[in-house]
Amino acid sequence: MPLPVITVEQMRRWEAATWESGKTEKEVIALVGKVVANRVMELTRPGDAVLLLAGKGHNGDDVRAMAEHLPGREVSLLSITDPAKTRQKLPLDLDPAPVLVVDGLFGIGLNRPLDADWMQVIAQVNAKQLLVLSVDVPSGVDATTGELQGAAIRAKETLTLGAAKLGLLKPSVSEFVGQLRVAPDIGLVPYRETSDLLLGQAKDFNRFPPARPLGGHKGTFGHLGIVAGSMGYHGAAVLAARGACRAQPGLITLMTPLMVLGLVASQLQSVMVRPLVPGEITFKSITGLLIGPGLADKDLPEDLKETTRKMWVESSVPIVVDASALDWLPSGAFLDKAIRVITPHPGEAARLLNSTVDKVQADRVEALRTLSAKFGGCWVVLKGQHTLIGRNEGEVFINPTGNPGLGQGGSGDLLAGYLAGLLVQPLLREDVGQTIRYAVWQHGAAADELAAQAPNWVVEDLAKRIGAVQA
């Protein structure tokens, strides 16, 4: 199940309910120590030096509790009660540099600016550019608002406890949080409150997609139509089609302008490629449609925009709209119960909302809900770090996978094709939200696997890997 994203106040109520049940803080801290130690063991090798930085509060207690669970590691524990003294000797503790620093200086209770000595301690750690694992929250980050309290530890990874805290998902603190992981099982009673903001997990997709029926054939798995590509952007059509192929629909027909038809068709084998001819834009027997990747040339057929608007409002088949075609959509309602998905990045979202990227990023959930409401309650995939999936009402899901390597041309085209290739299949439309979330998760998870193998992977590598990651 996806995990709730909560405020510090909600976390405190959760803890209070646990203490009322009879479980003690000491028991939970002991379990947290083991959980964090397990992650440290995964991040290090025998003989590696690990420096534990423990502050005065319970966050420091969590770090102190892990010291005895790190066999084979050269562990140093630095409990900091006087930052003025610590900043004088800390350079000695950081030389030679430990393989990993575990940050337990401040937890979710921090809600005031740090004094100069604490900021100096944090600056000394950051200056070494070490691999840092922060426990629950990077020290110095307000876990509710995401604001910095003067300075903050720059973590490579943050292992947050119980549930993700709202402030950790703010784009403004991404460089301090690093990769966000959740340790949900730390001995607390079951979470009793609700949250409309949920963080996905890999196990949400166990046994998904469901097995294809043994008697299935091309007609069983749908026919996707794609309208993509233009002069100078023909690669977007190719990547969208390749992404769709990895989703394994029964048939794919790609319509692309005549001037790039040869370039596109020569790179595809199983995809039927047709010219996009003015006055002849028709889709026969398709069960889903993707419009947008690479449609950036000014010489596109004039009737393409009107056809897009008409199909968005009237067609019964699922439609995914991406890239330039987002600007062609009409606001307001579409056919009842029809599946509609848009996939903007923050810049496109800002343009559609007549806003700015900064405003979109300041409240991504609100931007998603406003976009969905503008376009009839459609599904929105708001791309970026922690891609959001949701509509104007109900739950909004945060994707946990992906890395900066996705920030290269063609990545979004590939995702759009893969997503559309899934939604075109009748068996995968029983839970539309699950299918959309899976597409986004798979896209990011494939990128994560590639990044673990080589730093210079390219989108063509992603096109070969997407769909193959096991949950």
- What single-letter DSSP state applies at residue 429? -
Question: Which residue, of 194, 211, 240, is where some domain finishes?
Answer: 194
- Give a yes or no: residue 184 inside a domain: yes
pLDDT tens per residue, range 98-110: 999 999 999 999 9
Shared-domain flag, residues 182 and 93:
yes
Shared-domain flag, residues 187 and 287:
no
CA distances from 142 to 32, 137, 158, 439, 463 (A): 21, 8, 14, 32, 38
434 phi/psi in degrees, rounded to 5: -60, -40
Shared-domain flag, residues 39 and 144:
yes
Shared-domain flag, residues 182 and 307:
no
Shared-domain flag, residues 182 and 253:
no
Burial of 75 from C-beta contacts in 10 A (0-12 / 13-18 / 19+): buried
Shared-domain flag, residues 458 and 352:
yes
* Alpha carbon distance 400, 386 (integer Å): 6
Q: What is the pLDDT of residue 103?
A: 98
- Is pLDDT larger for residue 333 or for residue 301? 333
Q: Provide the number of structural domains found in the chain.
A: 2
Pair 350, 357: CB distance under 8 Å: yes
Shared-domain flag, residues 238 and 181:
no
Q: Which domain holds residue 275?
A: 223-465
Mapped to the 3 state alphabet, what secondary structure does 183-251 carry? ECCCCCCCCCCCCCEEECCHHHHCCCCCCCCCCCCCCCCCEEEEECCCCCCHHHHHHHHHHHHHHCCCE
Q: What is the pLDDT of residue 252?
A: 97
Pair 344, 380: CB distance under 8 Å: yes
Average pLDDT over residues 388-402: 97
Shared-domain flag, residues 411 and 317:
yes
Shared-domain flag, residues 459 and 341:
yes
Can you give the C-alpha Rg of the chain in angstroms? Answer: 25
The stretches of 269-402 forming alpha helices (DSSP H) are 303-314, 346-352, 357-362, 364-374
pLDDT tens per residue, range 261-274: 999 999 999 999 99
Question: Rounded to 5 degrees, what angle do the CA atoms 405, 407, 410 make?
Answer: 105
- Checking if the pLDDT of 297 tops 80, the result is no
* Alpha carbon distance 140, 111 (integer Å): 9
- Checking if the pLDDT of 65 tops 80, the result is yes
- Give a yes or no: residue 177 inside a domain: yes
Shared-domain flag, residues 295 and 439:
yes
Tally of CB atoms within 10 A around 435 = 23
- What single-letter DSSP state applies at residue 150? S
Residue 394 belongs to what H/E stretch?
Answer: none
Question: Which residue, of 194, 211, 241, is where some domain finishes?
Answer: 194
* Alpha carbon distance 156, 273 (integer Å): 45
* Alpha carbon distance 188, 341 (integer Å): 38
CA distances from 1 to 4, 174, 204, 383, 437 (A): 9, 24, 6, 22, 13
233 phi/psi in degrees, rounded to 5: -135, 25
Question: Which residue, of 179, 194, 209, is where some domain finishes?
Answer: 194
- Give a yes or no: residue 356 inside a domain: yes
Shared-domain flag, residues 388 and 447:
yes
Mapped to the 3 state alphabet, what secondary structure does 331-348 carry? CCCCCCCCCEEECCCHHH
- Checking if the pLDDT of 280 tops 80, the result is no
User: What CATH number did the domain enclosing 309 receive?
Assistant: 3.40.1190.20
Give the range among 63-72, 91-100, 131-140 with minimum mean pLDDT.
Answer: 91-100
- Give a yes or no: residue 270 inside a domain: yes
User: What CATH number did the domain enclosing 39 receive?
Assistant: 3.40.50.10260
User: What mean pLDDT, rounded, does the chain reach?
Assistant: 95
- Give a yes or no: residue 89 inside a domain: yes
Pair 442, 395: CB distance under 8 Å: no
* Alpha carbon distance 218, 233 (integer Å): 30
Average pLDDT over residues 140-163: 96
Shared-domain flag, residues 353 and 456:
yes
